[in-house]
């Protein structure tokens, strides 16, 4: 079962800081999460980076990145500022 760690606002909305999923891919996992929140809140999440075991999915297989039992999927907003 893969572990999903949402960004703060999404975690607050879901009422938990982590979720477990049997999803086979990152895309399937995000579809599961999207079904749990209102569309306007999900749209804000689209700006977040998706990491699997610390690697951005852009460098893996994108939304088709396969998930294994012990994978960790993090949704984080990039930091910036001055």
DSSP code string of 39-50: HHHHHHHTTSEE
Please give the pLDDT value at position 25: 98
- 3 state DSSP class of 71: coil
List of domains in the chain: 2-76 (3.10.20.30)
User: How many whole angstroms separate alpha carbon 16 and alpha carbon 63?
Assistant: 23
**Predicted confidence pLDDT, tens digits, the chain (82 residues):** 899 999 888 899 899 999 999 999 999 999 999 999 989 888 888 889 999 999 999 999 999 999 999 999 999 987 776 6
* Pick from 20, 6, 17, 11: nearest CA to 51: 6
| 49: β partners | 76
Alpha-carbon Rg for the chain, nearest whole angstrom, is 12
Give the tokens for residue 10: 């999404």
């Amino acid at each position: 079962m893969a572990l999903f760690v949402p960004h703060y606002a999404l975690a607050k909305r879901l009422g938990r800081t982590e979720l477990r999923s049997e999803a086979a891919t990152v895309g399937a996992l995000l579809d599961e999460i999207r079904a749990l929140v209102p569309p306007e809140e999900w749209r804000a999440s689209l700006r977040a980076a998706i990491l699997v075991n610390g690697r951005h999915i852009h460098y893996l297989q994108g939304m088709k990145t396969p998930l294994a039992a012990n994978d960790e999927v993090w949704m984080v907003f990039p930091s910036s500022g001055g």
